[in-house]
Amino acid sequence: MKKISIFNATCVHEQVVKTIRIFNASHNDIIAVNSSGGSVDCIRRMQNSEPCDLLILADDLIIANMMMPDWTDGYYVFAGNSMVLMPTNPEKQIDSSNWLEKLLDPRATFGHFDPHGDPGGYRAVLACMLCDSLEQGLAEKLLNHAGRRIVASHENFPVDYMFGYRSGPFGKNKPYAELPEQINLSNPALNGHYANAKFDIDGDGKNVVYGSAICHALTIPFTATAPREAKEFAELFLQTDFIASGFLPRSRAVGNWLSQI
């Protein structure tokens, strides 16, 4: 049986799995399978020759930086998001009025994913960097806090509070603290301000991401062995009601994406 291999960011795992169920139920000669992970890691796996027909990723900028023009010539932005803070258990209450007090507590522990492999990780770092726009010196206090941790698993959070995307707790009806717009990477009108923060993913100056409003995007790589089927799956995936799942409305085609889909 022919197979479509999809690499997707963990933040859209549920939406991808739902699309897979619908797609596979309507096909008896082809099956779609997916693998979730950090978006930077997904691109690296594809570039290391793992079979991949479609990438559904958390950051459009890394498609532009890491894949164009050698691996793809276009992509489609399908949703936006916002950085929030989530308590990891009901006893650790946090909201938009006390989040900074909670994080600055020397006894607190807070975490984010690996910024070298996951956009959710480097966006957490960028959000902390932008905290200087709230009060000078906050960025250093947060980034050098003794309780700051890099969290490896998406299943187990061994910290009090976790940086993440709003769509995560929103979709699961779990509590979260909204962050100020100046730091939450939600508003395209603030891209000039967000760009004051930057992160070097590989540490060699070749893959530097600047702060910008969060854009989730998908693309079909040149190496896809089932590009027509990947296009069909992408069209089905794009019928998802992302707003109902807590994502922000955002859509645009970049490059030659219209020739792909």
Query: Residue 233's domain is classified under what CATH number?
Result: 3.40.190.10
Rounded Cα–Cα distance for residues 228 and 79 (Å): 23
149 within some domain: yes
Rounded Cα–Cα distance for residues 181 and 62 (Å): 23
pLDDT class of 215 with cuts at 50, 70, 90 = very high
232 within some domain: yes
Question: What's the DSSP call for residue 164?
Answer: E
**Does 188 lie in the same domain as 103?**
yes
Amino acid in the structure at residue 106:
P
**Does 236 lie in the same domain as 179?**
no
261, pLDDT greater than 60: no
182, pLDDT greater than 90: yes
Q: What pLDDT is recorded for position 258?
A: 67
205 within some domain: no
207 within some domain: no
Q: What's the token pair of residue 35?
A: 């693998």
Mean pLDDT on 209-219: 98
Average pLDDT, the chain: 95
Are the beta carbons of 129 and 122 closer than 8 angstroms? no
Q: What pLDDT is recorded for position 259?
A: 62
pLDDT class of 173 with cuts at 50, 70, 90 = very high
Mean pLDDT on 23-27: 96
pLDDT class of 155 with cuts at 50, 70, 90 = confident
Boundary-marking domain end, from 170, 200, 230: 200
122 within some domain: yes
Mean pLDDT on 31-44: 97
Which of left, alpha, beta for 203 (phi over 0: left; psi -120 to 50: alpha)?
left
**Does 98 lie in the same domain as 34?**
no
Q: What pLDDT is recorded for position 260?
A: 57
Q: Say how many domains are in the chain.
A: 2
209 within some domain: no
**Does 193 lie in the same domain as 97?**
yes
229, pLDDT greater than 70: yes
Are the beta carbons of 29 and 258 closer than 8 angstroms? no
208 within some domain: no
Place of tokens 């187990």: 156
Mean pLDDT on 204-218: 95
Q: Which domain, by its residues, includes 88?
A: 83-200
**Does 19 lie in the same domain as 118?**
no
206 within some domain: no
Q: What pLDDT is recorded for position 71?
A: 97
Residue 198: what are its φ and ψ, rounded to 5°?
-145, 155
92, pLDDT greater than 90: no
Mean pLDDT on 161-189: 96
**Does 76 lie in the same domain as 112?**
no
Question: What's the DSSP call for residue 10?
Answer: G
pLDDT class of 89 with cuts at 50, 70, 90 = confident
Mean pLDDT on 223-247: 96
**Does 170 lie in the same domain as 98?**
yes
**Does 195 lie in the same domain as 96?**
yes
**Does 103 lie in the same domain as 65?**
no
**Does 44 lie in the same domain as 92?**
no
209, pLDDT greater than 60: yes
What is the C-alpha R_g of the chain?
Answer: 18
**Does 109 lie in the same domain as 17?**
no
Q: What's the token pair of residue 239?
A: 């019928």
Mean pLDDT on 114-120: 96
Rounded Cα–Cα distance for residues 136 and 123 (Å): 19
Q: What pLDDT is recorded for position 156?
A: 78
Q: What pLDDT is recorded for position 90?
A: 80
**Does 156 lie in the same domain as 51?**
no
Mean pLDDT on 209-235: 96
94, pLDDT greater than 80: yes
CA-closest candidate to residue 197, choices 215, 206, 184: 184
Q: What pLDDT is recorded for position 132?
A: 97
